Amino acid sequence: MIKTFLFALLFLSAIGFFTYSILNFLKYLKIGKRENRLNNIGQRIINTLQIAIFQSKLFRQKFAGFLHIIIFWGFLALLIVVIEGFIEGFVHGFSFSFIGKFYSVITFTQDFFGLLVLVTVIFSLFRRYIGTPKRLQVERAAKLDATVILIMISLVMITMLGANAERILLGNSAGLRPVSQFIADNIITTPSNTLYEFFFWAHNIIVLGFLNYLPYSKHFHVLSSVINTFFSNYKIDRKNVIKPIMIEDKTDELNPKERLIDFMNDEVPQLGARDIEDLTWKNILDGYTCTECGRCTEVCPANSTGKLLNPKNIVKQVRKRTMDKGPLVVKKVESDPILEKALVHDYISQEELWACTTCAACVEECPVMIDHLSTIIELRRNLNMMESAFPNEVATVQRNLENNESPWAFPADMRNDWIEEFISENGSETNLKKLSNEGSADNLDVVFWVGCAGAFDNRYKNVTKSFAGILNKAGIKFGVLGSEERCTGDTARRLGNEFAAVEQFIKPNIETFKHYKIKKIVTMCPHCFHSLKNEYTQFGAEFEVKHHTEYIGELISSGKISTHKGNKSKFTYHDSCYLGRYNEVYDAPRKAINNISENGITEMKRSKSKGFCCGAGGGRMFMEETEGKRVNIERTEEALSTGADVIASACPFCMTMLTDGVKAKEKTEEVKVKDIAEIIWENIKE
Ligand code: SF4
Ligand code: SF4
């Protein structure tokens, strides 16, 4: 009776305090902006099973993934022991043995996992203190937190096995328990009620203590990662899209809805995020989900080349700010030095934010579906549109965008230059048609979206002409917009200037597409490709968009063009982040090279979804890189280490960065950087 009373006291106080912590946590999430993430529940459940329960993303690093899945699955198997222990606290001698033979499967699994988890914990402690991989090297507090958790986990296992061994010795055990049996035969050996009670109480106190420690530890991810995965937009939204700015439409007061901001007519006090209340609840949940595994930081091109930016820290700072400010907001405190601060500047510096190349390697790598990029872009929006706090080069780019409709300082008329050159080289009877002459795209096979680099950059103009040559050779009737084309808005958007991106680029481009009835587009630039294909849909435009590497693949497989096989160059291929990670176009460029090459491709150490950025995305193309090693040098060195004499790429920004890298390494004689279109054009059959 006393045991039951004491257990009830322990159990109810522990559950009570845990509930209090969770309610507080939910109040902190509510500080963030509303966002509906309850669509497509079926896919969300599949994501949760695949990523949170079967931990698929952890296997991007096989050994660590294996260690983690043992701990996690061990924990799930042991949940039954925990529940059994709780019930036993109220009902003396309770066990699930009444379920029959299946009980032995449960007890065997518990024993087996108990031992496996103990061994894994020892390994994990070893990895924390000796032979620690760089990504797990954390500050003392975080290390202590991890150690406390690992020790708690091992104590849970030891007390469980101890209690089971005593049950066997006392003759109260049911089911198959080989490990506990071994302990009973060789280690504990004496039947003792006192020892059993000791293990019983120690086990339950540690389990309940662990439960209450979780909300204040990074190991809260045991719970929050499942929720975070459920609410992530994996396979629900298009990958790595920037969300437009939405505002609450209160026209129907009873049923307020969200709608796109109308920059010309809506007055909003804040654009982008200055502090946690400007982020969404999901961004805040991301902060509480971080396991501090460091996978994101390990793959970050900015961090690994010595910049201040550390994606793990961005997420951690969101959590820290929430923990600092959350309790004050919840208690409605109006004056406190903490309230004077803001997430941006006081917790995350603008230098960190401007160092991001938006390569999305962090997002791809994170095992618990944290979206660092959406937070970074929201903070950049505040810096750009509210504070005008950006590097000088960004000011220049924005001036160019405003005056020339392109990040470069060339007038729109110059977009016609390559067209005239192409026509004069190929004669006026080419398949290239100017849309201004055609009046509509109805009679064309495709519209060739050239992009700013394709029109203005002297080196990349050769790629434009090569691709136009391929289309011409294949008999494809293709239209070009010439001076009616303007930047897609990618650079402005990634720099946080949503206003310019939407009003100056996206909306006018959509008008042009509508005017010419454009339904199918092909482009060489992965940044244009991503924007047109995945982000213009947010503004009501939907058309078929192909990257030129995909289009070339179709032309080859349909027999419209054929190529010479047997090119003896040694090729390596650099994945553009916006083509690869963003849009999962990995095979088309490789197939194109394999079509002409005798030796195939020597892959770089980091390729496909693990590809390393060239350093130019997110507007970094136009910014100086003064801190640490240059990202393009790091990537060029990796490309050169393959022994290739052609570095193939499929993006104008990558081409510029790699060409500069090859120049800096003084290898221009031996190594050429070429676009897939050039490689195919040089090897096309007459
Ligand atoms: S998007 Fe790329 S550069 Fe930016 S934080 Fe993530 S990994 Fe680093
Ligand atoms: S954000 Fe994700 S990848 Fe980065 S440390 Fe946290 S859990 Fe690991």
| pLDDT tens track for 413-454 | 999 999 999 999 988 789 999 999 999 999 999 999 999 999
Residue 545 has pLDDT above 80, yes or no: yes
Please report the pLDDT score of residue 135 as a whole number: 65
Q: Picking from 72-76, 181-185, 359-363, 518-522, which range would have the lowest pLDDT averaged per residue?
A: 72-76
* Mutation to probe ligand 2, out of 292, 318, 319, 610 (largest number of atoms < 8 A from CB): 292
Over residues 614-637, the pLDDT tens digits come to 999 999 999 999 999 999 999 999
Please report the pLDDT score of residue 445 as a whole number: 98
Distance 241 CA to ligand 2 centre (A): 20
**Distances 95 to 88, 161, 199, 265 between C-alpha atoms, Å:** 7, 15, 16, 67
Alpha helix positions (H), 256-306 = 281-289, 295-299, 301-304
Q: What is the mean pLDDT of residues 3-14?
A: 94
Higher pLDDT: 75 or 381? It is: 381
Please report the pLDDT score of residue 612 as a whole number: 98
What's the DSSP call for residue 533? I
Ligand 1 pocket, 315 CB below 6 A? Answer: no
Residue 313 has pLDDT above 90, yes or no: yes
Say if residues 645 and 670 touch (Cβ distance below 8 Å): yes
Q: Please give the biggest Cα pair distance in the chain.
A: 100
Q: Which ligand has the nearest atom to the CA of 319?
A: 2
Alpha helix positions (H), 405-525 = 417-426, 435-438, 451-456, 458-473, 490-494, 498-499, 507-515
Instruction: Point out which residues pair with 14 in neighbouring strands.
Output: none
Distance 291 CA to ligand 2 centre (A): 6
Most confident of 102-106, 251-255, 257-261, 641-645: 641-645
Q: What is the mean pLDDT of residues 335-347?
A: 97
Higher pLDDT: 129 or 157? It is: 157
Please report the pLDDT score of residue 136 as a whole number: 64
User: What backbone phi and psi angles, to 5 degrees, belong to 649?
Assistant: -145, 175
Ligand 2 pocket, 363 CB below 6 A? Answer: no
Q: Which ligand has the nearest atom to the CA of 316?
A: 2
Residue 506 has pLDDT above 90, yes or no: yes
**Distances 494 to 279, 618, 620 between C-alpha atoms, Å:** 17, 5, 10
* Mutation to probe ligand 2, out of 288, 368, 374, 610 (largest number of atoms < 8 A from CB): 368
Which residue has the CA at smallest separation from atom 2 of ligand 2?
366
* Mutation to probe ligand 2, out of 72, 145, 284, 295 (largest number of atoms < 8 A from CB): 295
Say if residues 127 and 119 touch (Cβ distance below 8 Å): no
DSSP for 610-670, please give it.
Answer: GPPP-S-TTTGGGS---SSS-HHHHHHHHHHTTT-SEEEES-HHHHHHHHHHHHHTT-TTT
Q: What is the mean pLDDT of residues 588-612?
A: 97
Q: What is the mean pLDDT of residues 363-388?
A: 97
Count, residues in the chain: 686
Residue with tokens 């699994």: 109
Distance 294 CA to ligand 2 centre (A): 5
Residue 142 has pLDDT above 80, yes or no: no
Distance 155 CA to ligand 2 centre (A): 27
The pLDDT-based confidence of 360 (bands split at 50, 70, 90) is very high
Distance 135 CA to ligand 1 centre (A): 15
List the structure tokens of 100. 């029959």
Distance 122 CA to ligand 2 centre (A): 22
Ligand 2 pocket, 373 CB below 6 A? Answer: no
Over residues 378-402, the pLDDT tens digits come to 999 999 999 999 999 999 999 999 9
Distance 430 CA to ligand 2 centre (A): 52
Ligand 2 pocket, 58 CB below 6 A? Answer: no
Please report the pLDDT score of residue 195 as a whole number: 96
Please report the pLDDT score of residue 116 as a whole number: 86
Distance 296 CA to ligand 2 centre (A): 5
Averaged pLDDT score across all residues of the chain: 94
Please report the pLDDT score of residue 523 as a whole number: 98
What is the C-alpha separation between 249 and 251, in angstroms, rounded? 6
Residue 252 has pLDDT above 80, yes or no: no
Which residue has the CA at smallest separation from atom 4 of ligand 1?
356
As a whole-number percent, the residues of the chain with pLDDT over 70 amount to: 99
As a whole-number percent, the residues of the chain with pLDDT over 90 amount to: 81
What's the DSSP call for residue 412? G
